[in-house]
Amino acid sequence: MSEARAEAGDGANAAAAAVDADRESNRVAKRNVAVLVFAQAVLGSQLAVSIILGGLAGALLAENKSLATLPISLVVLVSMFTAPAASLFMGRFGRRAGFLLGAAAGGIGGALCARALVVGSFGLFLAGAAFTGVYQGTQNFYRFAAADTGTDSFKPQAISWVFAGGLLSALIGPEIVRLTSDTLGAAPYAGAYIVVVVLNVVGALGLMFLDIPRPPRALGTHGSGRPLAVIARQPVFIVAALCAMVGFASMNLVMTSTPLAMVGHGFTSDHAADVVRWHIVAMFAPSFVTGSIIVRFGRLPVIAVGLALLGACGAVALAGVDLHHFYVALIALGIGWNFSFIGATSLLGTVHTKAEQAKVQGLNDFLVFGLVSAGSFSSGALLDAFGWDAVQYAMVPALIAAALGVGWLAVARR
User: What's the pLDDT score for residue 54?
Assistant: 87
Query: What gap in Å lies between CA 414 and CA 405, rounded to an integer?
Result: 14
* pLDDT of amino acid 221: 44
pLDDT of residue 10: 54
In a domain, 7, yes or no: no
Q: Is residue 97 part of a domain?
A: yes
Say how many C-beta atoms besides its own lie within 10 A of residue 315's C-beta: 11
Number of domains in the chain: 1
220 domain residue, yes or no? no
pLDDT at residue 220 greater than cutoff 50: no
Asked whether the CA dihedral 379, 380, 382, 383 is positive or negative, the reply is positive
5 versus 396: the higher-pLDDT residue is 396
Q: What CATH number does the domain containing 326 carry?
A: 1.20.1250.20
AA identity, residue 51: I
In a domain, 400, yes or no: yes
CA distance 7 to 118: 76
- 228 vs 303, residue with greater confidence: 303
List, for residues 37-90, the tens digit of each pLDDT value: 999 999 999 988 888 888 888 888 988 877 887 888 888 889 888 988 998 899
First-residue to last-residue Cα distance in the chain: 46
Rounded Cα–Cα distance for residues 167 and 394 (Å): 28
**Rounded mean pLDDT of the chain?**
86
8-state DSSP, 67: G
Residue 152 sits at φ, ψ, to 5 deg, of: -60, -35
Residue 113 within any structural domain of the chain: yes
Over residues 87-106, mean pLDDT: 92
Q: Is residue 13 part of a domain?
A: no
Q: Which pLDDT belongs to residue 285?
A: 84
pLDDT at 219: 44
Q: How many CA atoms lie within 13 A of 61 on its CB side?
A: 27
Whole-prediction pTM: 0.74
Nearest to 380 by CA among 71, 13, 20, 94: 71
Question: Taking residues 175-185, what's their average pLDDT?
Answer: 84
CA distance 89 to 104: 15
Determine, yes or no, domain membership for 392. yes
Mean of the pLDDT values across residues 118-130? 94
The stretch 350-365 carries a mean pLDDT of 86
Domain that includes residue 397, residue range: 29-212+225-413
**Quick check: 156 pLDDT over 60?**
yes
Asked if residue 21 belongs to a domain, the reply is: no
